């Protein structure tokens, strides 16, 4: 690939097959890049920016963290941390890229985030330190006075294997105490000249590269996919990126959804929430939790901030993983998905979308447009729980979601769904039947727990045994009862529970 520094000019005068983004106040044009070139590869191998590291190459360790900036419709800049190791370079076209080298700039003066890390002695070997700095930098730009919990959340996608986290957390808590820098202060990030430069490279036509295109409208997307249904639809790439970095797969032609304006919207009414297929998980979960506050813990534990900033909710749905944490909660809420093929559209219940392992009700050339989630009824009791080996940034062994309505102490509706228990996320119909019409008490819960064995025959794998999964699923149902029964002993619902919070009687 050939990176060059492009002059400031209107995007319409630039070829539609050149990737353009802003880096350190300059428009960078990259020609001849393979569509699966990652941002990390570009930085280290072409730009000579070796501060950004490769650790796991799958978006888990955070050593590769950089920050992406985008300008919204109101002319405000928004900066978010992402994993550069699984983000394909063409998907940052029209955006601003910030690396750890960007923070000090030509003056070689440490940014407050960097100075706090030094002053708090928050680094040992240093390999992962740039990633921590960039996650904290993203926090610095949008939160002027972060509290300890804010810092912990921001660092959920960063792993350090050679030191304790206390000094790193101290650095995050103290970085706002330093004088505001001339470069990369909160005010400088919103500078009008800064915004104007980014606006100058926005496109009115789709970016096209050999093996890659980025439609600008849903009609362009539908036409492109109908004409080439063997193409691969790419949203956030937090799963597809691993096909390249870990599985070394050659990908078919890519159609990128991230520039389709109609897919980037969230629409809310009193009856439902509609989330487009290109909406990032960060924004999707914020909207869902606003409607369904009981899902706060699930949203907080869903992957990590850099993954949520790139990945999309509809991508998680369309991927159809048996352990996708969003699906059980969406299924019990009665979510439906809108599908489109060429000019035809249809909608189906999310629970009917999954036909078998990695098999979905999708025709060739058909794609997910949006997911619609009903708002919660006041009488509904709702919760979702996740069992995993660690609290943050981990794949579930079991994910459970429960939605119950009661009338005079009896169960009038019951919807239970689980991930990790079968080849697809699925309802527990036998357990639901055991609850319907019954008094809401310990005996009915025990009957429902016993019925789970009729619903699921889970597998054993590296994350959990079949016995652990079945026992754990029952224990999560027991937890729900304890939290939603006035006569039962109360659990501390805001305390994070470990995978062994209940005696499972089984080993991993």
The pTM for the full model equals: 0.92
The confidence score (pLDDT) of residue 162 equals 82
Closest to 346 in 3D by CA, of 370, 323, 375: 370
Contact by Cβ (8 Å): 373, 330:
yes
Q: How far apart are CA 399 and CA 420, in angstroms?
A: 7
Phi/psi for 305 (5° steps) reads: -55, -45
The confidence score (pLDDT) of residue 505 equals 33
DSSP symbols for 453-466: HHH--PPP-SS--H
pLDDT, tens digit, 9 for 90 and up, residues 308-348: 999 999 999 999 888 889 999 999 999 999 999 999 999 99
The confidence score (pLDDT) of residue 8 equals 44
Average pLDDT over residues 357-370: 95
Decide if pLDDT at 140 tops 80.
yes
The confidence score (pLDDT) of residue 108 equals 76
Average pLDDT over residues 463-478: 97
Starting at the earlier edge strand, list the strands of the sheet with 254-256: 207-209, 212-214, 254-256, 232-234
Count Cβ atoms within 10 A of the Cβ of residue 13 and give its class: 0-12 exposed, 13-18 middle, 19 or more buried.
exposed
250 three-class SS: coil
pLDDT, tens digit, 9 for 90 and up, residues 193-244: 889 999 999 999 999 999 999 999 999 999 999 999 999 999 999 999 999 9
Decide if pLDDT at 2 tops 60.
no
479 three-class SS: helix
What mean pLDDT value characterizes the chain? 91
Decide if pLDDT at 102 tops 70.
yes
Decide if pLDDT at 501 tops 70.
no
Terminal Cα-to-Cα distance of the chain (whole angstroms): 47
Average pLDDT over residues 160-175: 91
Q: How far apart are CA 185 and CA 178, in angstroms?
A: 11
DSSP symbols for 396-429: -SEEEEEEEEEETTEEEEEEEEEESSSSS-EE-H
Closest to 475 in 3D by CA, of 441, 448, 437: 448
Decide if pLDDT at 497 tops 70.
no
The confidence score (pLDDT) of residue 189 equals 83
| pLDDT band for position 1 (cuts 50, 70, 90) | low
Helix (H) or strand (E) holding 255: strand 254-256
Decide if pLDDT at 4 tops 80.
no
| pLDDT band for position 496 (cuts 50, 70, 90) | very low
Task: Supply angle C-alpha 391, 53, 154, rounded to 5.
Answer: 35
Decide if pLDDT at 494 tops 80.
no
Provide, rounded to the nearest whole percent, the portion of the chain with pLDDT above 70.
Answer: 92
Count Cβ atoms within 10 A of the Cβ of residue 428 and give its class: 0-12 exposed, 13-18 middle, 19 or more buried.
buried
* Strands 212-214 and 254-256, bridge-based pairing: parallel
Average pLDDT over residues 458-478: 96
In Å, how far are 286, 325, 351, 448 from 427, measured between CA atoms? 25, 14, 8, 13
Domains, in order of start, for the chain: 2-199 (3.10.20.30), 215-374 (3.30.465.10), 380-418+428-483 (3.30.390.50)
User: What Rg value do the Cα atoms of the chain yield, rounded?
Assistant: 24
Helix (H) or strand (E) holding 167: helix 166-174
pLDDT, tens digit, 9 for 90 and up, residues 273-314: 999 999 999 999 999 999 999 999 999 999 999 999 999 999
The confidence score (pLDDT) of residue 186 equals 87
Decide if pLDDT at 364 tops 60.
yes
The confidence score (pLDDT) of residue 490 equals 53
Q: How far apart are CA 494 and CA 492, in angstroms?
A: 6
DSSP state of 11: G
Average pLDDT over residues 14-27: 88
Phi/psi for 29 (5° steps) reads: -110, 130
47 three-class SS: coil
Contact by Cβ (8 Å): 317, 425:
no
């Amino acid at each position: 690939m050939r990176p060059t520094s492009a002059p400031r000019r209107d995007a319409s005068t630039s070829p539609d097959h050149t990737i353009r983004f802003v880096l350190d106040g300059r428009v960078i044009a990259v020609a001849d890049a393979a569509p699966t070139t990652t941002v990390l590869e570009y930085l280290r191998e072409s730009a000579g920016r070796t501060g950004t590291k490769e650790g796991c190459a799958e978006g888990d360790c955070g050593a590769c963290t950089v920050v992406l900036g985008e300008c919204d419709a109101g002319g405000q800049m928004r900066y978010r941390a992402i994993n550069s190791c699984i983000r394909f370079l063409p998907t940052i076209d029209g955006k601003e890229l910030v690396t750890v080298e960007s923070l000090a700039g030509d003056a070689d003066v440490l940014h407050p985030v960097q100075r706090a890390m030094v002053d708090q002695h928050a680094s040992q070997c240093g390999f992962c330190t740039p990633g921590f700095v960039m996650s904290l930098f993203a926090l610095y730009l949008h939160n002027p006075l972060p509290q300890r919990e804010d810092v912990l959340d921001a660092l959920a996608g960063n792993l350090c294997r050679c030191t304790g986290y206390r000094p790193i957390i101290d650095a995050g808590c103290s970085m706002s105490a330093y004088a505001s820098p001339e470069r990369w202060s909160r005010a400088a990030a919103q500078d009008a000249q800064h915004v104007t430069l980014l606006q100058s490279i926005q496109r009115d036509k789709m970016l096209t590269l050999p093996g890659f295109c980025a439609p600008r409208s849903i009609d362009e997307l539908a036409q492109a996919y109908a004409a080439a249904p063997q193409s691969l639809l790419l949203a956030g790439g937090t799963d597809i990126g691993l096909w390249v970095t870990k599985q070394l797969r050659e990908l078919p032609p890519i159609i990128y959804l991230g520039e389709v304006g109609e897919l980037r919207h969230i629409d809310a009414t009193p009856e439902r929430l509609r989330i487009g297929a290109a909406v990032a998980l960060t924004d999707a979960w914020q909207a869902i939790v606003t409607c369904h506050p009981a899902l706060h813990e699930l949203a907080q534990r869903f992957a990590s901030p850099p993954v949520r900033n790139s990945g999309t909710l509809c991508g998680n749905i369309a991927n159809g993983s048996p352990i996708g944490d969003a699906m059980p909660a969406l299924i019990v809420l009665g979510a439906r998905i809108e599908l489109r093929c060429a000019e035809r559209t249809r909608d189906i219940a999310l629970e009917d979308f999954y036909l078998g392992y990695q098999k979905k009700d999708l025709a060739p050339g058909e794609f997910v447009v949006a997911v619609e989630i009903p708002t919660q009824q006041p009488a509904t009791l709702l919760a979702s729980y996740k069992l995993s080996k660690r609290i943050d940034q981990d794949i579930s062994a079991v994910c459970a979601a429960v939605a119950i309505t009661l009338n005079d102490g009896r169960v009038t509706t019951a919807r239970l769904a689980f991930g990790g228990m079968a080849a697809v996320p699925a309802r527990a119909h036998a357990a639901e039947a055991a609850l319907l019409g019954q008094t809401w008490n310990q005996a009915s819960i025990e009957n429902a727990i016993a019925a789970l064995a009729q619903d699921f025959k889970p597998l054993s794998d590296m994350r959990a045994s079949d016995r652990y999964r079945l026992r754990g699923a029952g224990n999560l149902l027991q937890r729900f009862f304890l939290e939603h029964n006035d006569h039962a002993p109360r659990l501390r619902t805001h305390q994070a529970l470990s995978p062994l919070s209940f005696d499972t009687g089984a080993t991993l």
